[in-house]
Amino acid sequence: MSETVEIPEDVAAVVQQKVEQGLYPDSGAAIAEAIRLIDEHDELVALRAKIQVGLDQAARGEVVPFNEETRQRIIREGHAKYERGDPLIPYISVPGQ
């Protein structure tokens, strides 16, 4: 799919400069990388927000002590998820599933 998009002249100049420097094979590749970096930035913003939620909870004393009992519970839950074929981490699936 191809689409024409108008961009400000100063942005077009930067894209062209990056292509001329050999950093990207063409303007489409440079723009694609810019979009990838925007997506990565958005993911980092979301992650920082989640971290802040955890920090706020900790500041209010809403924490679970990490001790042997907690460690064993996490291990049991991980094994149970693995046996069910559930992803251990939401964005990573179990191989072969």
In a domain, 91, yes or no: no
Q: Is residue 72 part of a domain?
A: yes
What's this model's pTM, rounded to 2 decimal places? 0.62
pLDDT digit string, tens, across residues 36-59: 999 999 999 999 999 999 999 999
Is residue 2 one of the residues assigned to a domain? no
> In terms of C-beta density within 10 A (0-12 exposed, 13-18 middle, 19 or more buried), how is residue 27 classed?
middle
User: Considering the domain boundaries, does residue 35 fall inside one?
Assistant: yes
Domain count, the chain: 1
Return d(Cα 91, Cα 97) in angstroms, integer.
Answer: 13
Is 49 within the bounds of a domain?
Answer: yes
Give the angle subtended at the CA of 52 by the CAs of 50 and 57, to the nearest 5°: 100
1 part of a folded domain: no
Q: Is the pLDDT of residue 7 over 90?
A: yes
In a domain, 37, yes or no: yes
Classified as helix, coil or strand, 92 is strand
- Does residue 64 lie within any of the structural domains? yes
For residue 41, what are the CA distances in angstroms to 18, 26, 46, 58? Answer: 20, 23, 9, 25
Q: Tens of pLDDT along 9-45? A: 999 999 999 999 999 999 999 999 999 999 999 999 9
- Domain residues for 18? 9-84
